[in-house]
Copies of this chain bind each other. A is one copy, B any other.
Amino acid sequence: MNSAIRSVVRYAVFHQISVVGVSYGYQGLVDKNFRDLGRKDVSNIINLGGTFLKTARSQDFFDKRARKKAYKNMVESGIDSYIVIGGNGSYRGALVFNREFDFPVVGIPATIDNDIAGTQETLGFDTALNTAMEAIDKIRDTAYSMDRIFLIEVMGRKSGAIAVHSALAGGAEDIIIPGIEKDIETVLQKVKQGRKTGKKSWIIIVAEGSGKTLTMAEGLRKYIDDVRVTVIGHVQRGGNPSAFDRILGARMGKAAVDALLNGKRHHAIGWVNDGPIIYPLRDAVQYKKEDFSKFIELIQVLT
């Protein structure tokens, strides 16, 4: 995110536009948590994880009166449009706010789940994927050394994006994601068959959103002694961003400023075929239907 903020600030300054940073997201709009941002304020942040502006989930913003206050705060401070960097929730807030006050907004997609409709890429996904993969690599050292079975839970609420990609990159043996049923019997069958052909360690990636990590572990333990569970957890949300994410952030930041300059008022930046697109925010908050069946098939063939 910091790369995107840096890009927005410096590209805007280059166009002689003043930039105000909002801390704590929508809550900051309500609380008038503003500060001017110049070129130097975004120095030496491109390599840091998280966001130096701080963020938060705002309950207040669900209340129309709070949103009115936010609108008033922005007008008073001479803010005439804004860029929101976030996922589905942030986008929905932006849509509501835009409908109520006709306030121009452009969204930059940022979520490690890569589950925003209309864009192939979101900020943070590549970094989270690499973090998950590195954790799998480390666990494989133990799985291999001790012939063990590991269930590794990676993030992904409704989406299996991190799961399928980290499983393929990590050379995992099996995968469980939301929306694709898989019973313990089938998983067990494959483990047993693997053991017959000499494959003694076995790594199964489970997307958090499937809710199956513990039941699967318990199910497997009825037949196999040494089944371990690791939940990678919040480690995936931080860390120095990857080159891909930093470049994406820099280019999306520029695209967002350009979009506002071109008069867009309720749009999102998307990334398609390695370049930016601009499309209505309302299309971005639709359900992103992704078919991971080919990925899953490939993971299993390559086991």
- The minimal Cβ–Cβ distance linking A186 to chain B, given in whole angstroms, is 18
With a cutoff of 8 Å between Cβ atoms, the chain B residues found around residue A47 in the complex are: 137, 140, 170-171
Decide: B170 and A56 in contact? CB cutoff 8 A.
no
- Flag if B243 contacts A130 (CB, 8 Å): yes
Closest to A24 in B: B147
**Cα distance A142–B54 in the bound complex, in angstroms:** 9
Q: How many residues of A contact B (CB 8 A)?
A: 74
Q: Name which of A7-15, A209-217, A277-285 contacts chain B.
A: A7-15
Q: Is the Cβ of B138 less than 8 Å from the Cβ of A49?
A: yes
Digit string of A45-88 for contact with B (CB within 8 Å is 1, else 0)? 01111110011100000000000000000000000000000000
Inter-chain contact B138/A131, CB cutoff 8 Å: yes
Decide if B302 touches A235 in the complex (CB within 8 Å).
no
Oligomer copy total: 4
B7, B170, B240, B254: the one contacting A46 at CB < 8 Å is B170
Least CB separation from A171: chain B residue: B46
Q: Are A146 and B44 in contact (CB under 8 A)?
A: no
A113-144 CB contact bits vs B (8 Å, 1 = yes)? 00000001000001001110101011111101
* List of B residues within 8 angstroms of A146 by Cβ: 54-56
Given the known inter-chain contacts A168-B246, A302-B250, please indicate yes or no for A50 contacting B228, CB distance below 8 A. no
Q: A189 interface residue, CB < 8 Å from B?
A: no
- A169-B243 contact, Cβ under 8 Å, with A301-B11, A301-B14: yes
Name 11 interchain pairs, CB-CB below 8 A, sorted by A. A6-B302, A7-B302, A11-B301, A39-B197, A40-B198, A56-B147, A138-B235, A139-B235, A139-B238, A142-B237, A254-B298
